[in-house]
Chains A and B, each alone.
Chain A
Amino acid sequence: MATPKEMLTTWDKVQFGAVLPAFEDPEHKKRSKFHSYNYSVADWRVEKPVFNRELCIDCDFCWVSCPDSCFIVEEVVNKRGKKQAKIVGINYNLCKGCAVCVEVCPTPIKSLLMFPEYVDNDEALKQWPTKDNK
């Protein structure tokens, strides 16, 4: 039987019952240019969420509730030797600015806040509310 990679070359190589991934290069999980992951919906937004790593407690609520799979995760090992997800950023190509992530973020001062699209992220972090000025 042809390998998944061979089957992806032309349609006549595809065999009945084959389980094909949506990847151009399945071994390296490389997505083709026609995967929506490589499309941009950034122009749907008027406001964007800005992420403040300093305040984040890695509860991953934003990851599980984001409808557009925007949160970029890094797998780390915690003190007890268990793997856990660390949020490292937002994929702004995929974000539509729905603000669900801001809504569900549980930290006392939110680790995610909406800012107008034109505000620079570094500038936004400077404007972040503080304890006395929430």
Chain B
Amino acid sequence: MKKITNLKEFACTPDRFQGGHRLCPGCAHSMIVREVVNATDDDLVISTATGCLEVCSAIYPYTSWDVSWIHVGFENAAAAISGAEAMYKALSRKDKLYNEDRRVKFVAFGGDGGTYDIGFQSLSGAVERGHDFLYVCLDNENYANTGGQRSSATPIGAHTSTSPRGRVSYGEKQKKKDITMIMAAHGAPYVATAVPSTKHWKDLATKAAKAISTVGPTFINALSPCTTEWKFKPEETTEIADLAVETCVFPLYEIEDGRKLRITYRPKDKLPVEEYLSKQGRFSHLFKPENKWIIEEWQKQVDDYWDYLQRREEAGV
């Protein structure tokens, strides 16, 4: 496992995901990806589901990747990486000299659409079969690449192009699906949540290093604030990620072997959810008097969940 000590040392890592890609200015996807691929010195084979990251980092004939990279479909990043991993293992078993001087690790990236929704069956299968890989979900809570449709990661009240706000609608009606707990329930040896906030750079890099070096299927759900669809200024990306943590809207934790839960960061003074919601255009209608109840509902859900996490951690289950 690569030792992640301080940022001054980590910043000596030669970048393995390069600029010149066409993600929006201030896009969090690339902040997360850079930290993940820089968190190991081993060779990497990466598969990426269709979505902003894949489309913007591989515009023909260009590539932004300094590592081996496969793109297949929207629904099968996990299937592709498990196939690559199984083949690699088989070749190494047949021929002891096969790539013997290299250590190769397998990583898949998918958006929330490609993970929570359409790619869920292939992810669930790959984890159940026990392949040795890390899956990172870039959770921007919508289908950003196709114009911002809702997904099962979209939180209640959010305006998206298929859950629009209006005279009769307050936006998304459903609650966000708890993908991290679902992946933990598979019994995966390591699952975690992370954010691309400057303050928590080490939390993300350490989790990535840990997940990559763990043998077996591992999963990280990384919140990825989307300047275009969440409607905030590009320079605010890291601040919004930070607020998601300080309000406990997106708590940072990790779970080992499906059981041992550890909260990796505890805000000193938990901020009210309004601090997070008011920064984003997709929630601006919630501040109308008739929608006040949604903010109250948000606060209640966040408090309940934070409470639940703490009790689980305490109980060690």
Query: Chain A residues in contact with chain B, CB under 8 A?
Result: 1, 16-23, 29, 31, 34-41, 44, 58-61, 63-70, 73, 75, 78, 82-85, 91, 93-100, 102-104
Contacts and interface: CB of A to CB of B under 8 A. Distances in A.
B22 A35 contact: no
Contact of B63 (A17, A34, A104): A34
- Decide if the interface of chain A is mainly helix, strand, loop or mixed: loop
A69 B235 contact: no
Interface stretch (B64-72, B150-158, B169-177, B289-297): B64-72
Smallest CB-CB A-B distances: 5 pairs: A94-B19, A36-B20, A85-B11, A98-B25, A98-B26
- Decide if the interface of chain B is mainly helix, strand, loop or mixed: mixed
Nearest to A101: B235
B25 A35 contact: no
B12 interface: yes
Nearest to B65: A22
A1 B21 CA distance: 33
Interface of B: 7-12, 14-15, 17-23, 25-31, 34-35, 43, 45, 57, 59, 61-69, 87-88, 91, 98-99, 102, 104, 196, 198, 201, 234-239
Given A21-B67, A23-B66, A36-B57, A67 B31 contact: yes
Nearest to B97: A1
Contact of B66 (A22, A60, A78): A22
B8 A100 contact: no
Given A94-B20, A98-B26, 11 more contacts: A19-B68, A22-B66, A63-B7, A64-B7, A65-B198, A65-B238, A69-B17, A69-B34, A94-B18, A100-B237, A100-B238
Given A17-B98, A69-B19, A75 B238 contact: no
Contacts of B19: 36-37, 41, 68-70, 91, 93-95
B45 to A, nearest CB: 6
Given A61-B198, A67-B30, A68-B30, A85 B12 contact: yes
A75 B11 CA distance: 9
